[in-house]
Amino acid sequence: MTPHIAQLKQYLLDQKHFQFRREVDWEAILPHWSIDRDNQAAVILKTVLAEEAKNPVFLPNERIVFTRTCANLPERYPDDVMERLRKEAYFHEKGVVFNLSPNYEDVLSAGLDAKRAEAVERRERALAEKDYGAVEFLDAVISGIDAVFQLVDAYAAEAMKQGRIEIVSMLSNIPRKPARNFHEALQFLRILHFTLWCEGAYHNGLGRFDQYMYPYLIADLHKGILTRETALDLLEEFFLTFNRDSDLYVGVQQGDNGQSMMLGGCDREGNDAVNVLTALCLEASCDLKLIDPKINLRVSKNTSMLLLEKAAELTKQGIGFPQYANDDVVIPGLVRLGYSLEDARDYAVAACWEFIIPGIAMDIPNIAAVSFPSVVNTAMRSDAGRASNSFEAFMTAVREELFAQADMLAAAADRVDMLPCPFLSMLCRGRIEKGLDICWGAKYNNFGIHGTGLAPAVDSLESIRRLVFEEKTHTLDQLTAIVDKDFEGEESLLAKVRHEFPKFGNDVDEVDEIAVRLLNDFADSWENRINCRGGIYRAGTGSAMYYLWHADELPATPDGRLAKTPFPANYAPSLDVQIAGPISVIKSFTKPDLSRVINGGPLTIELHDSVFRHEDGIQKAAQLVKLFIDRGGHQLQINTINREQLLDAQANPEQYRQLIVRVWGWSGYFVELDRPYQDQIIRRAEMTI
């Protein structure tokens, strides 16, 4: 890290840029809301960017600019209006388009002048055809572009006053014209990403950053404009921009902001796409040790050990990066769901880990979640479950409940609506030509379903199999009564189910086979369902925040989990169980056919930080990832933690402001998390290799 980057990083860590922020009374500024949704979106964006243009901010010696000064953003509609809209249709989360990965590549190479001209020409045709819906959308696109120009001009004028000639030169070209070099491309992307957040389109993924930015970098390297070292310096400054305003971004917890980028993998023709920028991004993240941008790495059986070891160097830093995605499983899985082979090869992640195709997908990859332990709990109490005379019959009851859950969740999403984001739509292919916001749909319009608590469900089923159908010491009714009492007075049974019965994650075939079956039944329950937007449903192994929410709704479970005890995050062994080690975990968790549950959801493994205190720690971590790939795992995140340090951080938070942890599909600062999330992380199993 150069002194320049170190200075900028410390400026951010000291929160000195907070001095430029102000709360805005949007009700006093915004005109009355419009029933025309595109127009309302345009008014919001224009007003926000006009406010930002009043106070251009330049941090000391920075070369990539744009910093939020409005500490708050307006809601798209007043509460009473949104309440009325929600009675008419289901609006997911905040109701606006989100969790997308736009197509930055085309805009960087064309410039916003070209996109504006395209919108103007298409508007003329729409007007002639009396397609007033298209006219409204295109007016909103044009308004958004003009608002960006106004903001950029304000920054350029202030830069001129301050004698920042390099910034003036850049802003005289971009974003109106195509980026001429790597520096301009980075600045252009910062402007676009900044604008999306101001529009209200949150969780904007960066897509395949090392692919669309590579041409600018390699051209500068060949021309001698940049060296590898100066390119890394620019890249690190760009990475710092993602940490300026992230505390203002929408999320369940601080840090949950979706600023993810995907690196590596293959191109649309299937050729290896790893390049020098792939390595530079890993190095920049390793050097900075910050929570953003969140690094994902595509791998396969052909990935070199050199790249895996470079990635392991990043894992060593303890910030939860990179998250791995296995092309050998993900691409065939997406093709199986109806994605074209070329599109499947171009996948990225939406925000946390859900797979999405940049620029052409309006998938909602987190529309609902199924709680596996709740399914088992319901089956225990159902007529079919109680009438079961064999474990096979009980598993049939579990399968029936999975289908019942799918029916219920699909019915709840039978009419999904979204509020438009015209500027974001401009960044997606074909939307200007169609004259239609992407909120109305795109090439892919699939819904993703999370599956939470797989391990406690599997472990519970193993307890039921043994206690009810093999040892026959308990009936289902008796076991149900025991879990409803939270095992009170049943301490010996609690110890038995916790410590004597085998658990999912220890490479025990009879237990792992239950997981294979449960995931297959889960996939079956969603297969061939068509959603209300003409897409399909994608089952997955992710949990998001449901690992706390679902667990809080459930009594104790037959595996010995007590009431309200959290589930494991994503696809991982149960909390508090004795695990042989990461190799046994990988063996167990790669036995299911993960191409059938390809909505995303990483196998989550915690390594004790002592692993990397040995000379061979990096090689061992890389070999662990290689084992995961070769055995057909689909997604993996490895976290480096130290329980004693986390406990001390809870007791002395002021001493650990920069302690980073992996939460579910993102990394955040430990002391900024709510206590339940902190406690769940502390309870995860630390392992050594």
Q: Which of 528, 551, 570 is the last residue of a domain?
A: 570
Residue 252's Cβ-count burial label (10 Å; 0-12, 13-18, 19+) is: middle
Percent of the chain with pLDDT over 90: 95
pLDDT computed for residue 597 by the predictor: 97
- Domain-located, residue 591: no
- Domain-located, residue 280: yes
Q: Which of 554, 570, 586 is the last residue of a domain?
A: 570
Q: What is the pLDDT of residues 199-247, one digit of tens each?
A: 999 999 999 999 999 999 999 999 999 999 999 999 999 999 999 999 9
What is the SS3 assignment for 409? Answer: helix
Same-domain pairing of 330 and 373? no
Strand bridging mode 447-452 / 294-299: unpaired
Same-domain pairing of 335 and 214? yes
pLDDT computed for residue 687 by the predictor: 82
Distance CA 397, CA 415 (A): 29
Residue 406: in which H helix or E strand, if any?
helix 391-412
> Amino acid identity, residue 259?
Q
- Domain-located, residue 214: yes
Contacts of 14 (CB under 8 A, 6+ apart): none
Residue 322 domain boundaries: 207-247+259-353+602-689
Q: Which of 549, 570, 591 is the last residue of a domain?
A: 570
Same-domain pairing of 393 and 527? yes
Residues comprising the chain, all counted: 689
What is the SS3 assignment for 286? Answer: helix
Q: What DSSP string describes 148-200?
A: HHHHHHHHHHHHHHTT-HHHHHHHTTTTTS---SHHHHHHHHHHHHHHHHHHT
- Domain-located, residue 254: no
34 pLDDT higher than 90: no
Percent of the chain with pLDDT over 70: 100
- Domain-located, residue 588: no
Distance CA 631, CA 609 (A): 25
Distance CA 356, CA 362 (A): 9
Q: Provide the mean pLDDT of the chain.
A: 96
32 pLDDT higher than 80: no
Strand bridging mode 635-641 / 323-326: antiparallel
pLDDT computed for residue 615 by the predictor: 85
Residue ranges of alpha helices (H) inside 54-181 are 79-88, 104-110, 112-128, 132-161, 165-171
685 pLDDT higher than 80: no
Residue 605: in which H helix or E strand, if any?
strand 603-608
Distance CA 308, CA 624 (A): 10
Same-domain pairing of 382 and 467? yes
Structure tokens at 383: 């007529």
pLDDT band of residue 357 (cuts 50, 70, 90) is very high
Q: What is the pLDDT of residues 36-70, one digit of tens each?
A: 899 999 999 999 999 999 999 999 999 999 999 99
Same-domain pairing of 421 and 297? no
- Domain-located, residue 482: yes
Residue 536: in which H helix or E strand, if any?
none
Structure tokens at 542: 């992710």
CA distances from 193 to 200, 260, 440 (A): 11, 12, 22
Q: What is the pLDDT of residues 610-665, one digit of tens each?
A: 999 888 999 999 999 999 999 999 999 999 989 999 999 999 999 999 999 999 99
Same-domain pairing of 534 and 622? no
What is the SS3 assignment for 687? Answer: strand
What is the SS3 assignment for 364? Answer: strand
Q: Could you tell me which of 69, 284, 56, 36 has the C-alpha nearest to residue 138? A: 36
Omega before 322 within 30 of 0, i.e. cis: yes
Same-domain pairing of 89 and 23? yes
Q: What is the pLDDT of residues 564-592, one digit of tens each?
A: 999 999 999 999 899 999 999 999 999 99
> Amino acid identity, residue 256?
D
Same-domain pairing of 337 and 415? no
Same-domain pairing of 547 and 651? no
Dihedral of the alpha carbons of 382, 388, 391, 393, in degrees to the nearest 10: -90
pLDDT band of residue 686 (cuts 50, 70, 90) is confident
CA 308 to chain CA centroid, nearest Å: 22
Average pLDDT over residues 191-201: 96
pLDDT computed for residue 614 by the predictor: 87
162 pLDDT higher than 90: yes
Distance CA 335, CA 455 (A): 28
pLDDT band of residue 517 (cuts 50, 70, 90) is very high
Same-domain pairing of 340 and 407? no
pLDDT computed for residue 251 by the predictor: 86
Same-domain pairing of 654 and 561? no
pLDDT computed for residue 138 by the predictor: 98
Contacts of 349 (CB under 8 A, 6+ apart): 101, 205, 260, 262, 296, 323, 325, 355, 356, 600
Buried b (16+ CB within 10 A) or exposed e, 360-394: bbbbbbbbbbbbbbbbbbbbbebeebeebeebeeb
- Domain-located, residue 584: no
Q: How many Cα neighbours within 13 Å face the side chain of 325?
A: 35
Same-domain pairing of 426 and 531? yes
Q: Quickly count helices (H) and strands (E) in the chain.
A: 30, 15
Domain count, the chain: 3
Average pLDDT over residues 433-459: 97
pLDDT band of residue 431 (cuts 50, 70, 90) is very high
Distance CA 241, CA 232 (A): 14
Residue 580: CB atoms within 10 Å: 15
- Domain-located, residue 226: yes
